[in-house]
Amino acid sequence: MDESWTRLSELFEAARGLPADQREAWVRSHSADARVSAEILALLQTYEEDPAFLEGRVPADVAGAALAAVSQPIEGRRLGRYRLVREVGRGGMGVVYEAEHTDAEFSRRVAIKLVPSGWSASSLVARFRYERRVLARLDHPGIARLLDADTTDEGTPYFVMEFVDGQPIDVWCRERALTIRQRIELILRVSEAVDHAHRNLVVHRDLKAANILIAPDGQPKLLDFGIAKMLSDEADLSGGLTAAGQAAFTPSYASPEQIRGEGVTTASDVYSLGVLLYLLLTERLPYEIAGLSPFDAMRTVCDTEPPTPSAVAPLAWRPTLQGDIDNVLLKALRKDPRERYPSVRAMADDLVAWRDGHPVSASRATLWYRARKFAVRRKAQAAAAAAVALALVAGGAATAWQAHVAGIERDKAESRFRQVRQFSRSLLFELHDSIRGLPGSTPARQLLLSRAVQFLDGLANDAGGDQALKLELAEGYRKLGQVQGSSFSENLGDTTGAVASFEKAARLGEDVLAREPRSVAAAILLTGAYDDLTNTLVSRGDVDAADRADRLHRAVVEQLERTNAKDAVVQASLASSYSNLAYFRGVRRDWPEAKALYTRSISLHEALPPAQRALGNTIRSYAFALKRLGAILVSEGNLEDGERRYQAALAVDEQIVALHPDSATYRYDMTFSLTDLAVVAKRRRDFARAESLWNRALAIREAALAADPKNTRAIDGVANIRVYLGDLYLTTRRFPQAVSELRDNLRLRDQLVTIRGPLPQPIRARASAQLNLAQALLDSAEAERPGGRRAALVSEAGRWLTLAETVARKAAADSSPGASNLLTLVQQQAARLGRLGGRP
């Protein structure tokens, strides 16, 4: 097509505003390409028949009638032998109710679908009757069965189906953390139901996750044949119902030919099934069209190639999807229906071939490919056969028998290898991730990860050439290190163990990248491992080592940006990396560079496709960058821009929490937006708002600490808010409250030193807590009249200042960052102490 979609859209919109009898002549006079003219005229015709043809909506007058009809109480009404219990769903073709069928012998739940009385005069009644005819010819355990059909006393048709008390297939897979193989097995069962419909000459035309429920026993049930088409029905093919039904699809799952209003065949169901499998194996749709205009949605589905599944899937799944599964999905999603699988059965056959280790038709059938498949599938048998042949040539039947036995043992060993690997991956990527957001899960997560890493470590020693296994192990070490002692995760304060784990992860990633220099997965893993290592070394006070890790991090980021900058997954990784690199610049007090990197990170995040930006780790990184840039702006005195960044970050945090209400991790993330906004409020001298925000954050952190008392991140977080509140109460001259908050802060700092050991950072943090408490005690003393109480406050302040000064002088002698400032503050309070008659 010579003219762009933009031009086509402009012509369509202009023609739509003309009288119907003038449109054709106008279109042909304004388009030089006959194909463009024909496309616009076809769209105009479809628009006339259904103005919402690309948005999946029922026309407003019909929808209004439906709402009016169902606004009347209907629960409890009897339809023949059935009593309606409750409404369970509705769509463009009817309303579905749960109902009871009771008689003298048995009772059971059923689903009843009917057209509300307000629709009785519409053409939808004809389509409703048509759906009933479709269901009557289908009998398969994977399709919700038709049980009965009748009309109400008012003449409204309804039919009765088996009631499926299940979950949509994507929710089922996600909540049970199913493996790739389990998800494919589920799609194979769905394919059997779709294939049954096709063999009965029925095309579903609206296959999507919401229309496939999984019953409690794991049986998929295909629902909603409301826009199905019987290929044998000439009346349907010639118009009438088809014209009304073609528009009522779900754009995210619809094939290009459906979008264009062309003839629909079984190939359209192949395409939609491919979209569904893509969603299950990558946890995202191949196209993100939500919020797009109709023409942009058309262009995306009809012209844009979907990303390769292994490039956008969760990191741990990518090695499994690379190759055959990529090829299967991309073949199912071909734009031209003639290039797709000829049937759902053919697509299922390829999935079965992959499962069983056979060649897949969607992959290029080279001699090497087939040989490799045979070798993988028959590795043990081939090795045993070779050993037997060698033994026979040598002339020893006994040796041949020994080789046969060796082959059996080797087969057993390989089976055990696969089982241990699968079990380890289950611990690492499924069970661990499913409990990560639960309160109090940190010790359990450490135990799980320790076991998984032990198993994978043992396997890796025997699988030197398995790069995918090395990446699994590296990711395991990263997760273990985060639980051991990462300040950006719920952790147990073991920073020594964390550094060791992050270093192992980095070495494994470096090894894979050295062997496979173009491996995006290895490069992305390395950026995370280097960042984890950098931050943990900073928390241990080893800034020089942190600087070396940071330089390695930046080198990998630059390599990724040079070689894969257009890849959406790489873009998301770069956005996170620039935020992480900026954080270390802040540690080094390089504020201009930190500000520039945070700005770059935010720009990259905001340029990501919506589906990519919405992923958990990516959106968390985006919120973090907004907060840290806000902090720099506030420190520069730009309260207005800083507060705007914080408000944007809080909106993102609240969105994530709303989507994951049970996640303690996401709720904790939100507290940083709240505390930073409180800092801004305090600077504006809006003390009431500052106190409210800090107390809101404190409640979340205290809940996290109560649920997980060994979580050092929560201990540190609660302590920090105690300092904020203590300073606020000093500012507002509420001295008893200030002293109480700062005593709690010191208690928590003592606890952190006990857990983490005598490391510089927790020792200095405790000294700062001693200094803060001493200052509050001296402020309280100055507010008292001379006498007993003042003397006691001054005496206690002296004890804390003595302890703080010892640490400050040692840190200053070691040239530790910030030590001179700490010593200066201690000396200032010591001078106050002397003026009040005390002695340090």
Which residue numbers are catalytic? 206
What is the residue-wise DSSP string for 719-748?
Answer: HHHHHHHHHHHHHTT-HHHHHHHHHHHHHH
Residue 806 structure tokens:
């010892």
C-beta separation of 604 from 571 below 8 A: yes
Amino acid at 596: A
- H or E element that contains 388: helix 379-394
Residue in the block written with tokens 């049930």: 221
Residue 837 to residue 210: CA distance in whole angstroms: 76
C-beta separation of 56 from 45 below 8 A: no
Half-sphere exposure of 273 (CA within 13 A, CB side): 32
DSSP-assigned beta bridge partners for residue 102: 107
- H or E element that contains 576: helix 568-587
Among 653, 542, 651, 547, which Cα is nearest to 590's? 547
SS in 3 state form for 487-547?
CCCCCCCCHHHHHHHHHHHHHHHHHHHHHCCCCHHHHHHHHHHHHHHHHHHHHCCCHHHHH
What is the residue-wise DSSP string for 231-260?
Answer: TT-HHHHTSTHHHHHTT-S-TTT--HHHHT
| Phi, psi angles (nearest 5°) of residue 149 | -155, 145
DSSP-assigned beta bridge partners for residue 113: 96, 159
Residue in the block written with tokens 């840190």: 811
- b/e per residue, 811-832, with b = 16+ CB within 10 A? bbeeebbebeebbebbeebbeb
Half-sphere exposure of 377 (CA within 13 A, CB side): 13
Q: Is residue 106 left, alpha or beta, with left meaning phi > 0 and alpha meaning psi from -120 to 50?
A: beta
Half-sphere exposure of 296 (CA within 13 A, CB side): 7
- Number of Cβ within 10 Å of residue 559's Cβ equals 15
Question: Helix or strand or coil: residue 97?
Answer: strand
> Which residues are CB-neighbours of 368 under 8 A, at least 6 positions away?
none
Half-sphere exposure of 723 (CA within 13 A, CB side): 20
Sign of CA dihedral 257, 259, 265, 267: positive
